[in-house]
Amino acid sequence: MRRIALCVSYDGTEYAGWQRQPLLRTVQGEIERNLLRATGEDITLHASGRTDAGVHALGQVAHFDTSARMPAERFVYALNVGLERDIRLLESWEVSPDFHARFTAKRKHYRYTIRNAPIASALTGRFEHHVHRPLDFERMNEAAAHLLGTHDFAAFAASGSHVKTTVRTLYESRFSRAGELIYYDTIGSGYLYNMVRMMVGAFLDVGAHRAPPADLARMLHPPTCPAIRTTAPAHGLTLMRVEYE
């Protein structure tokens, strides 16, 4: 039995998230269906994480086990043939049996894209959250800096999270700007359910002067932290890459 890793890019607009679900179209389900066609095996994919409905990826990583003799690098071409154009495998390679796309991942990089302009884009709007009122970029960056380091992010976990600990480490948390586009980039050891979208929602409140930047620091001290008022929409979020040793 061999273990094969995949690097996957997808536009999540038309999918009910990564994870396979009965009667729903998912990224995992589409790739597994094509693995069955290519190998004749009923294969389960294991991803670095389960992106929500509407979330995109440029560098999702997944792995599977197979007895197929196909060269590892050929899985990209064999699977892309049967996939819709909004899912593309970018790379496939053989890994050691102790590699696990989720449990051996060290860091994940997410980017949230905001178009801060009077009019939304007709071409790229499905990958951006449109905010027509001006946002205070400097205040948002000040708020983002409060989240750097190792903290208890319980305030940024949506209901339904079942994890052993809500402590996570953020190595990067910053905003950048290019014309009408505002990008929030975060690199962390891992993320809770809806964590990045809830963080961005809090930043948007700061940028709109509905909350002070220091609220983000107070949110790291449950149970007396301020409540999250806004969760940013899924379509602005993209998983950029996953890092391993």
Whole-angstrom distance, CA of residue 161 vs CA of residue 150: 19
Whole-angstrom distance, CA of residue 222 vs CA of residue 195: 15
Nearest Cα neighbor of 136 from 204, 79, 49, 200 is 204
Q: Which amino acid is present at 22? A: P
Give yes or no: 98 in active site: no
Q: Which residues contact 164 (CB under 8 A, 6 or more apart)?
A: none
Residue 161: the pLDDT is: 66
Averages of pLDDT over runs of 10 residues in the chain (245 residues) are 97 97 96 96 96 97 97 97 97 98 97 98 97 97 97 85 88 97 97 95 96 92 74 97 95
Residue 100: the pLDDT is: 98
pTM equals 0.95
Helix (H, G, I), strand (E, B) or coil at 161: coil
Q: In 10 A of CB 98, how many CB atoms? A: 8
Which of these is catalytic: 11, 52, 205, 215? 52
Q: How many Å separate Cα 187 from the centre of its chain?
A: 11
Residue 224: the pLDDT is: 66
Residue 157: the pLDDT is: 86
Nearest Cα neighbor of 134 from 234, 222, 186, 204 is 204
